[in-house]
Amino acid sequence: MGQKVHPVGIRLGITKDWNARWYANSKDYADFLIGDIEIRKELEAKLSHASVSKITIERVANGIRVTIHTARPGVVIGKKGED
């Protein structure tokens, strides 16, 4: 019987990229992970009609960079980019 592997897990670093790019000490890891989950839930709820395919979260030295991959950018940023 063959071994079952998760298709995304086997492709990480080869053909797919991570959805979160950050490193934390063991004392900060849980807080960062909870923060990422909350950010994703909030964005997925607010942008459920925007055809979001991927949300990438990067933690840089003094902030967070969130990249949203969507098929309908006008819904996310507004028609003239003013939202």
Q: What is the CATH number for 54?
A: 3.30.300.20
Q: How many domains does the chain have?
A: 1
Predicted pLDDT at 31: 93
Hunting for tokens 């967070």 — which residue is that? 64
pLDDT at 55: 94
* Domain contains 34: yes
CA atoms of 83 and 74, how far apart (whole Å): 10
| Cα-based torsion angle of the residue sequence 8, 14, 17, 20 in order, rounded to the nearest 10 degrees | 80
CA distance 67 to 6: 25
Q: Is residue 13 assigned to a domain?
A: no
Q: Which residue has the higher pLDDT, 38 or 10?
A: 38
Residue 31 lies in a domain: yes
Confidence band of 82 (pLDDT split at 50, 70, 90): low
Residue 58 — very low, low, confident or very high, per pLDDT cuts 50/70/90?
Answer: very high
**pLDDT surpassing 60 at residue 41:** yes
Look at residue 82 and tell me if it is in a domain: no
Task: Give pTM, 2 decimals.
Answer: 0.76
